[in-house]
Structure 1
Amino acid sequence: MPVHMTEGGRADRGKGVGLGLALASALAFGGSGVAAKPLIEAGLDPLHVVWLRVAGAALVMLPLAVRHRALVRRRPALLAGFALLAVAGVQACYFAAISRIPVGVALLVEYLAPALVLGWVRFVQRRPVTRAAALGVVLAAGGLACVVEVWSGLSFDVLGLLLALGAACCQVGYFVLSDQGSDSGEEVPDPLGVIAYGLLGGAAVLTVVARPWNMDWSVLAHSARMDGTPVPAWLLLAWIVLVATVVAYITGVLSVRRLSPQVAGVVACLEAVIATVLAWVLLGEHLSAPQIAGGALVLVGAFIAQSSTPAKGSAEPVASGTPERELSARGTAA
């Protein structure tokens, strides 16, 4: 006898798939720093690594851009926003920030994005949010403060802090734009097409900023050292392009479609934890007790936010997640 899935079962399955995609995205994004650091230590400028990452991913996604070329005519503003904010803006602002303030401080400020998303939803869109989601954000932010050990080496460089805040705002744009059209009656743009054109546009913007013609290309022909172990530089670059960018952006956008911008944003905070753990294992950068405790807080905060349920007597609070958002043939590639 066939078993029919209930509406609640489909919703739970949709949230489960969305959570899995969000975790995969956090894992992929979190691995970028571990692969990029040896390249930087081998002699590449950080902005050049960013340019290689985005430009390489844009080339990989070029066939999809051709396939979805109608998006240029239908949603030019969305594509421009995704390129400027979700791709070029986050990268450029973050790397500019760490040139003036400690990396830990810049990372913490950037990952205020989930709290900023909640503020956007509550005060700009005027939609209710659950208390559990807000609590999850507070716990995750507190955990991140421990993970990055914000109390060590704090520097009150105003411009640096503003640049890090700019990265956070750009990350808000990533989550909000990824959710574009998912709750309305309008046609949902294909996420793969949006990512492809976002990477192409981001590569164009970063070309002006990074000036890759000044890059030392010979570094890519040699090995970089990962905790003393030589690794081919091209292999590290391939990981950054294919996994830490292409896979990371695709799973990230698809997770937002199945959860909600702010829930996916809180889960994405795990990127900092994953990056720190991978640095411990692969680069020999050991975790302290406060960092381990902070990582646990981030996990708890992410779990509380994604598992929250709608409050009674209110309109569906967006931070509770929604039933699985069907990515129909109109909105996604088969």
Structure 2
Amino acid sequence: MSDSEPPRWTLRSFAFPALLLGGVSVGCAPILVRLSEAGPAATAFWRVALALAPLALIAAYAAGRTSASATPKTIVEWLTVSAPGAFLGFELVVWHISLHMTSVANATLLVNLTPIFAALFGWAIFGRPVGRVFAAGVAISVAGVALLTAGRSAAGGGRLSGDAIALSAAAIYAGYFLALGYARRRFSTASVMFGSAALAAVVTLPLALTERAFAPDSVSGWAALIALAWIVQACGQGLVTFAIAWLSPTLSSLTMLIQPFVAGALAWALFGESLTAAQIAGGLVVVAGIMVARRG
């Protein structure tokens, strides 16, 4: 270890605070999407496009500190690290649409069902075994979703369709994680994050150009997009990526469930989105189901 490199224990001591701060940062994403003056697809485009600059700097810095084989060089290798971005781009567009059709709490909770979809896809595509604990978690989550989308939250305003779109975003995001896992077996996290964001920008641009509101009209509108790109996409996701290398999967999973609570609290304060008893109960049951499924 060189004199300039921090000792491993020092990095490890920052892992949990980094995970917590990253979770809170990512939890602000739906609020910034709501505040964006651009359309849902355009917001997704600017979210990843504006994040490319800081992600490129991170990738360049990491390239000098990782093995040469962990940095893509050929076109095929860059396609490998970029492939997850196709799923990421479509997921962001779909989820941003859901945020305009249902409550922030519902959309954020439902997209957190991604690990369940990822495990189901892994079972269906790769034959990975699914145990009884995971099946119990799925059953609990389904019951929570039923409560979450019942009553006033599902009545009028297109909220039920918005909930369904948020669920489809969770399924698309599961594809992103499967592709991400394949790319991360060989290449560095920084390279995969930059490559994925680049392809996500390419994927979302044609959809963004079809919307009437492609770019913000005010400084505050641009501020929301820059915060979404730099604070959430680059910084928040980067902190989470750093932290999970040092922490147990159980602790990481439980801590990241802070996202829907942060989003719900901010939506309540800023947009007056109060939660019904059914939503609160359903949200708690969904979180419990996710926790059980992840243990399985």
Letter in 2 for 1:27: V
Query: Quick one: which amino acid aligns to residue 207 of structure 1?
Result: L
Distance 1:21 1:254, change over 3 A: same
Corresponding position of 2:188: 190
Give the drift of 1:198.
Answer: 0.9
Distance across 2 between alignment mates of 1:280 and 1:289:
14
In 2, Cα distance between equivalents of 1:126 and 1:132: 17
Which residue number corresponds to residue 82 of structure 1? 84
Distance of 1:165 and 1:274 partners within structure 2:
19
What is the CA distance between 1:189 and its match in structure 2?
Answer: 1.6
Q: How far does residue 196 in structure 1 lie from its aligned partner after superposition?
A: 1.0
Which amino acid in 1 is paired with 2:57? P
| 2: CA distance, partners of 1:122 / 1:217 | 41
Structure 2 residues without counterparts, runs of 5 or longer: 1-11, 64-69
State the distance in 1 between where 2:243 and 2:293 align.
Answer: 14
Residue 229 of structure 1 is matched in structure 2 by none
What residue in structure 1 maps to residue 154 of structure 2? 151
Which digits, 9 at most, give the CA deviation of each residue in 1:64-107, with x for residues without a partner?
A: 34565942526334323211012x110123345678x6568877
Give secondary structure in 2 for the equivalent of 1:219.
coil
Structure 1 length-normalised TM: 0.63
Contact 2:208/2:214 (<8 A) preserved = no
Deviation at 1:165, TM superposition (A): 6.1
1:28 to 25, 29, 33: 25
Structure 2 equivalent of residue 236 of structure 1: 224
Q: State the distance in 2 between where 1:247 and 1:66 align.
A: 16
With 110-119 and 55-64 compared, the bigger mean Cα shift is at 110-119
Instruction: Please list, as runs of the form range in 1=range in 2, the aligned pairs for 1:193-232 lying within 5 A after superposition.
Output: 193-211=191-209, 215=213, 217=215, 219-221=217-219, 232=220
Over residues 247-292 of structure 1, what are the superposed CA-to-partner deviations in whole Å (9 max), with x where a residue is unaligned? 33334555776667x9978976664443222211333221222222
Choose between structure 1 and 2: higher helix proportion. 2
Q: How far apart are the structure 2 equivalents of 1:266 and 1:144?
A: 19
The alpha carbon displacement at 1:215 in A equals 4.7
Is 1:301 matched with 2:274?
no
Give how far 1:162 is off: 8.7
Q: Give runs of aligned pairs for residues 317-328 of structure 1, distance below 5 A.
A: 319=296
Structure 1, 263-272 or 282-291: larger mean CA deviation:
263-272
Alpha-carbon distance, 1:178 to partner: 3.2
The alignment covers a number of residue pairs equal to 272
Which amino acid in the other structure matches residue 114 of structure 2? A
Structure 1 155/30 Cα, relative in aligned 2: closer, same or farther at 3 Å? closer
Q: Which residue matches 1:285? A: 273
Rounded to whole Å, the distance in 2 between the matches of 1:115 and 1:299 is 12
For residues 275 and 103 of structure 2, the distance between their equivalents in structure 1, rounded to whole angstroms, comes to 16
Change in CA separation of 1:196 and 1:148 when aligned onto 2, cut-off 3 Å: farther
Q: CA deviation at 1:123?
A: 3.3
Which residues in structure 2 correspond to 1:16-95 (within 5 Å)?
Answer: 25-40=22-37, 44-66=38-60, 68=63, 70-73=71-74, 75-86=77-88, 88-95=89-96
Higher relative contact order (CA 8 A, sep 6+): 2
Go from structure 1 to structure 2 and tell me whether the alpha carbon gap of 1:35 and 1:92 turns closer, same or farther (over 3 Å shift).
closer
Distance (Å, rounded) in 1 between the aligned partners of 2:40 and 2:279: 25
Is residue 42–residue 214 contact of structure 2 (8 Å, CA) maintained in 1?
no
Contact persistence 2:85–2:197 (CA under 8 A): yes
Report the alpha carbon displacement of residue 210 of structure 1 after superposing the two structures with TM: 0.7
2:158 matches 1:170: no
Relative distance call for 1:96 and 1:276 in structure 2 (3 A) is closer
For the residue of structure 1 that corresponds to 2:273, the secondary structure is coil
How many angstroms does 1:110 deviate by?
4.9
Structure 1 residues 35 and 297, CA gap change in structure 2 (3 angstroms): same
Q: Which residue of structure 2 aligns with residue 180 of structure 1?
A: 182
Indicate the SS of the match to 2:217: helix
SS of residue matched to 2:128: coil
Shift in alpha-carbon separation, 1:26–1:138, aligned structure 2, 3 A: farther
The verdict on how the C-alpha distance between 1:301 and 1:188 changes in structure 2, with shifts beyond 3 A counting, is same
Q: Deviations over 1:207-248 (max 9, x none)?
A: 222129965756332xxxxxxxxxx44443333122221133
Which residue identity is paired with 1:123?
Answer: A
1:125 aligned to 2:123? Answer: no
Provide structure 1 residue ranges, at least 5 long, that are not aligned to the other structure: 1-13, 222-231, 309-318, 320-334
